[in-house]
């Protein structure tokens, strides 16, 4: 089902709250409903999703606003077959961890508001309405996705992330055989844009770029094929970071055509790449206990493992 947004152009004569300006532009809608739309991430202002009720619009500017009012969920037949409860890796009142399937956005985007993991979990009653976004995985990437269930948990986890106290571990099948067993990539990334959908790697800082750093380790080289299983430890969290760092290293992720990875035939990998967030280590936001959350590998990932090695050995 295609969900079309309500399009609104806003101009104000004095600083005005977003919810108030939208209420004036959409008199047929209650301000309470507008606040709900903003809170659930269904309102975009100049291509940016806004979740703050009091977001201030300034005079002298024109704001192009998209409001996704639909409540239907746009899923494919494959998505509808997903057993979401079986994908829960950890759950309590503070947070929930899901083994995210590849091919689905983690959170609402301007082009996919109602078919994200976040929205579907809320629709099914698995995720409370007060849950807040935290880290995200690319649409084509699978694995551990942690979602805080309260504002307090979200604030604590974001603080841990800013202090680099949260550790993430990814596995990737890449093209080629690296000569060295370990290497690092440091550089600056320009995030993708609607005009340029690929992140760009820079060796020197430029306006709008952000520093990025990933450590890589070879886990197994397939002697029969030109592919290698690699561990990736991101020390920063930038959009498409691991994918770009592997591309500039000369070993793109298999099936990641956007960054030069060869397509894999016969494995039903449409909109899926062989990059999996296998583990996350964090401190519980309320109890202070240490959590190690691991997501099992999808079948299209394990098919390339040697017969004598299980996924738990990596």
Residue showing tokens 């239907």: 72
Instruction: Specify the pairing of strand 142-148 against strand 275-283.
Output: parallel
* pTM, to two decimals: 0.78
Q: What is the pLDDT of residue 168?
A: 97
Catalytic residue among 138, 181, 271, 308: 138
Measured distance CA(174)–CA(301) in Å, rounded: 11
Measured distance CA(42)–CA(23) in Å, rounded: 15
Q: Pick the more confident residue, 222 or 72.
A: 222
Q: What is the pLDDT of residue 113?
A: 57
307 CB neighbour count, 10 Å cutoff: 5
For the segment 124-144, the average pLDDT, to the nearest whole number, is: 90
Domain boundaries, the chain: 6-67, 77-163, 168-276+302-313
> Phi, psi (5° rounding) for residue 10?
-115, 135
CA triple 238-259-252, angle to 5 deg: 95
Q: What is the pLDDT of residue 109?
A: 67
Q: What is the pLDDT of residue 72?
A: 37
Measured distance CA(99)–CA(112) in Å, rounded: 20
When mean pLDDT is compared across 182-196, 225-239, 266-280, the lowest value belongs to 266-280
Are 6-67 and 77-163 in the same CATH fold? no
Determine the length of the chain: 314
Q: What is the pLDDT of residue 271?
A: 76
The CATH number, out of the four listed (3.40.50.720, 2.30.40.10, 3.30.2350.10, 3.10.20.30), of the domain defined by the range 77-163:
3.30.2350.10
CA triple 189-193-198, angle to 5 deg: 55
For the segment 261-267, the average pLDDT, to the nearest whole number, is: 78
Q: What is the pLDDT of residue 74?
A: 40
Q: What is the mean pLDDT of the chain?
A: 88
The architecture of the domain spanning 6-67 is Roll (3.10)
Q: Pick the more confident residue, 18 or 271.
A: 18
* Closest listed residue to residue 110, CA positions, set 55, 48, 53, 171: 48
Query: If pLDDT is split at 50, 70 and 90, which confidence band does 108 have?
Result: confident
Q: How far is CA 168 from the centre of its chain?
A: 13
Q: How far is CA 98 from the centre of its chain?
A: 12
How does DSSP classify residue 21?
A: H
The answer for residues whose C-beta is within 8 angstroms of residue 42's C-beta and 6 or more apart is 67, 68, 69, 108, 113
Measured distance CA(232)–CA(267) in Å, rounded: 23
Q: Would the pLDDT of 78 be above 60?
A: no
Q: Would the pLDDT of 183 be above 90?
A: yes
Measured distance CA(291)–CA(280) in Å, rounded: 8
Q: Would the pLDDT of 71 be above 50?
A: no
Q: Pick the more confident residue, 133 or 228.
A: 228
Q: Decide if 92 is catalytic.
A: no
Query: If pLDDT is split at 50, 70 and 90, which confidence band does 3 have?
Result: low
How does pLDDT run across 239-261, given as a tens digit for each residue?
999 999 999 999 999 999 999 99
CATH class held by domain 168-276+302-313? alpha beta
How does pLDDT run across 15-66, given as a tens digit for each residue?
999 999 999 999 888 888 888 888 767 788 987 878 788 899 999 999 988 8
Q: Would the pLDDT of 80 be above 60?
A: no
Strands (E), 69-209: 88-91, 95-100, 142-148, 167-175, 182-190, 200-202
For the segment 271-290, the average pLDDT, to the nearest whole number, is: 95
The answer for residues whose C-beta is within 8 angstroms of residue 85's C-beta and 6 or more apart is 126
Q: Pick the more confident residue, 75 or 269.
A: 269
Q: Around 140, how many Cα atoms within 13 Å sit in the side-chain half-sphere?
A: 21
Q: Would the pLDDT of 106 be above 80?
A: yes
Q: Around 250, how many Cα atoms within 13 Å sit in the side-chain half-sphere?
A: 7
Q: What is the pLDDT of residue 267?
A: 52
- First vs last C-alpha separation in the chain: 40
Measured distance CA(192)–CA(200) in Å, rounded: 7
Asked if 222 and 304 touch (Cβ cutoff 8 Å), the reply is yes
Asked if 57 and 18 touch (Cβ cutoff 8 Å), the reply is yes
Q: Would the pLDDT of 195 be above 90?
A: no
For the segment 269-275, the average pLDDT, to the nearest whole number, is: 85
């Amino acid at each position: 089902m295609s969900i079309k947004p309500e399009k609104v152009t806003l101009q104000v004569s004095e600083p005005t709250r977003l919810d108030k300006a939208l209420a004036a532009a959409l008199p047929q809608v209650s301000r309470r409903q507008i606040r709900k739309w903003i809170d659930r991430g269904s309102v975009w202002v100049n291509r940016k999703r806004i979740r703050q009720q009091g977001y201030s619009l300034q005079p002298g500017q024109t704001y192009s606003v998209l409001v996704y009012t639909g409540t239907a969920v746009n899923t494919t037949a494959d998505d509808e077959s997903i057993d979401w409860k079986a994908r829960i890796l950890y759950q309590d009142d503070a947070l929930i961890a899901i083994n995210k399937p590849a091919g689905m956005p983690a959170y609402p985007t301007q082009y996919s508001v109602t078919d994200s993991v976040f929205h579907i979990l809320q629709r099914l009653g698995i995720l409370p309405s007060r849950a807040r976004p935290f880290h995200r995985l690319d649409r084509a990437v699978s694995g551990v996705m942690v979602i805080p269930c309260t504002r307090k948990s979200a604030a604590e986890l974001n603080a841990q992330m800013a202090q680099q106290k949260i550790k993430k571990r990814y596995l990737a099948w890449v093209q080629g055989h690296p000569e060295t067993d370990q290497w690092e990539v440091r550089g600056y990334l320009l995030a993708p844009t609607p005009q340029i959908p690929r992140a760009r790697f820079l060796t020197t800082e430029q306006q709008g770029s952000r520093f990025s750093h990933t450590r890589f380790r070879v886990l197994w080289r397939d002697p029969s094929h030109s592919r290698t299983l690699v561990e990736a430890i991101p020390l920063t969290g930038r959009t498409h970071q691991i994918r770009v760092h592997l591309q500039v290293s000369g070993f793109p992720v298999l099936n990641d055509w956007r960054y030069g990875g060869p397509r894999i035939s016969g494995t039903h990998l449409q909109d899926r790449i062989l990059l999996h967030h296998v583990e996350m280590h964090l401190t519980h936001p309320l109890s202070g206990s240490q959590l190690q959350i691991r997501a099992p590998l999808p079948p299209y990932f394990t098919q390339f493992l040697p017969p004598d090695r299980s996924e738990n050995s990596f």
